[in-house]
Amino acid sequence: MEQLAVALKRLSPRRIAGFACNQAFIYFLLYMGFNRSVTVAGVELERVELLATLLAMVALLALYRRQPPRARVVVCSLPILYVCAALMALTSLCSTLLDWGAAPWAIAEGALVGGPAAVLLMAWGLTFGSQRTDVAVPEVFAGSLLAALVCLLFTATQGALWFTVAFALLPFASVVNIDLPRADASVEAGEASEGAGQMEARMEARGAGAARVGSAAASACGVLAPASAGAATGEADRDVRAPASAHSAATRPLPAMSAAAVAPGSAEGDRQMLSLKVMAGTACFGAAAGLMETFGTDPGGATTPAYAASILVFAGFLTGALSLLLSRGRTGAAALGACYRMAVFVIMVGVLVVGWPAAEASPTPGKVYVLAGYLGLETVLLSLFLVLAGILSTRADLTFARGLSVLLMGEVAGVVAGNVSDAAALAFAGADPAAFPGPLAATELASFATSLIAGVLVLAAYVFLFTERDFISLAAIARRDDSLELRDAELARRYGLSPREAQIVRFVLRGRTSERIAQELSVSRSTVDTHLRRVYAKAQVHSRQELLDVAEDIGRRLDAEKGAASR
């Protein structure tokens, strides 16, 4: 109980409440409403409102990833976030109060809401990325659980005017509680003053892997310096922006690595392969969810007839997941592995009972479990993206953008494939009436084939692409990275280092030269050396090696204390 109380004390009610408002709006927007359809070339395309929303989100996420750091700071600034919240609120109010339910308006509504919703998710990625993963991950699950309870309340009171107004205000409540990290003024000034030649030289140095960590410094630290996300994340995912605080692991900049450093079998190569496997599995999960979105719903009908039951099962899943995340002796990645297994199990239960007469007649038909499991899996993946941001040492908002793009594009592909399956079944029924008694039988056959394919995709992702063993690898890497983060924070606290001094020390402990540090922080080498002399004076050391020895002693002591506390 004491361990649980300590874990709960670290969580921020403000962040949990704000993220809950954000997720409640998205859950209700995507999965509660009516199935809208349009006819294209004589073929009826259903769930166009979902397609429009997902495509708008994917487009915005792709655009966000390709922006320079200064532009991303502007996009996630509070004024822009309030504009996004206002756009989401006004669109929601117009759709409900004016009863604009026709398919063209549904498409416009999806586009107007999807883009701003993606921006808010990026802001939440920055917010959670500025926290340690053992704090951010439980907050994501707690916020999702609170969002599920809010959705249940709205489901029970749907139709009331106060519900419409309260629902529209959720994006504002989300923005109010977003806790963005402070922009690094030095980077902004550096970007303004840097010439084109200096920038080109920096990029060439990265591409050539010019700045590599010396073996003596790495062995003194006792760790391998992490490398850039490289090929896995692309140039758009790299950011030279330094963290605003010593404990912000999700935004730390990195050295470039040579091709040998990211080769298969190397530590960095293993990280890149793990990231690729996560994204491949994410795409399969999204496609399976998209396929099931076209199952069990007809144009003009409710998108999720048993929405309340799905949210209730989802809330039960989150309750169990939180108990795992806050349990004693579990790291965030290890607990996420158990949550991942639970989510896949719930999805497969739904896929297996789809079509059973007894299950379909019950209050919880198969699609209830599929949607609940998918929402649970989405929560697991959001948390996993935070862990990956720390492991790959990329910005959390960029990892969010990349992972969500893959997930949502998979869902788009699944919805399109489901529509194609229905259209093909109807075409075959018309071509060979003897084989199909009627259009209804043909569409039912297509629906069951769709659910079978969705189940195969989930199993393939779980068994072959992103497995339990991969989560074990994540847990090991996350434990080591968390230990380094705690060591750096303790060293800064013990000797009273300023944020800039703590930033520079962090680079030093990872084997960076003064020239490299100056390049990363866009300052002169003399400024770096001045800060280092102050650090030496505060820590009462005379060289980098002595500073490394002090850091190593602090790390050993913290590891010993952590081991004693877990016993």
**Three-class SS of 94-158:** HHHHCCCCCHHHHHHHHHHHHHHHHHHHHHHHHHHHCCCHHHHHHHHHHHHHHHHHHHHHHHHCC
Amino acid making up residue 367: K
Query: Which H/E stretch holds residue 497?
Result: none
Residue range 495-566 in CATH 1.10.10.10: yes
CB-count exposure of residue 80 (10 Å: 0-12, 13-18, 19+): middle
Q: Which residue has the tokens 């339910």?
A: 101
DSSP tally for the chain: helices H, then strands E: 24, 2
pLDDT for the residue numbered 429: 59
- Pairing mode, strands 43-46 and 37-40: antiparallel
Integer CA distances (angstroms), 226 to 308, 376, 484, in order: 45, 30, 11
pLDDT for the residue numbered 238: 37
Q: Are 54 and 416 within 8 A, CB to CB?
A: no
CA distance 4 to 194: 49
> How much is the CA Rg of the chain, to the nearest whole Å?
25
Q: Are 161 and 34 within 8 A, CB to CB?
A: no
pLDDT for the residue numbered 254: 37
CA distance 298 to 418: 12
CB-CB neighbours of 560 under 10 Å: 10
pLDDT for the residue numbered 198: 39
* pLDDT tens for the chain, residues 1 to 567: 566 666 678 899 999 999 999 999 999 888 877 777 777 777 778 888 888 999 999 999 999 999 888 899 899 999 999 999 999 999 988 877 776 656 677 788 888 999 999 999 999 999 998 888 888 999 999 999 999 999 998 888 776 777 888 888 999 999 999 988 865 533 443 343 333 333 333 433 433 333 333 333 333 333 333 333 333 333 334 333 333 333 343 334 333 333 433 444 444 566 677 778 888 899 999 999 888 887 767 777 777 778 889 999 999 999 999 988 887 555 556 678 889 999 999 999 988 887 676 666 777 788 889 899 999 999 999 998 888 887 776 788 888 899 999 999 999 999 988 888 877 777 765 555 555 554 445 556 666 778 888 889 999 999 888 777 777 676 666 666 666 777 888 888 888 999 888 888 888 887 888 888 888 787 889 999 999 999 999 999 988 888 888 888 888 887 777 656 555
Give the helix ranges, DSSP H, for 461-566. 468-494, 499-509, 514-521, 525-539, 544-566
For the chain, the domains span 2-181+269-473, 495-566
Integer CA distances (angstroms), 480 to 209, 222, 223, 230, 555, in order: 24, 11, 9, 21, 11
DSSP state of 305: T
Candidate CATH numbers 1.10.1660, 2.60.40, 1.10.287, 1.20.1250; the one for domain 2-181+269-473: 1.20.1250
pLDDT for the residue numbered 536: 92
CA distance 439 to 389: 49
Token pair of 40 as six digits: 């294209």
Measure the CA angle with vertex 176, ends 172 and 179; round to 5°. Answer: 135
Token pair of 560 as six digits: 């010993």
Measure the CA angle with vertex 355, ends 350 and 358; round to 5°. Answer: 90
Distance of CA 293 to the CA centre of its chain: 21
pLDDT in tens, 187-201: 443 343 333 333 333
Distance of CA 48 to the CA centre of its chain: 25
pTM comes to 0.74
CA distance 203 to 236: 12
Token pair of 503 as six digits: 């930033």
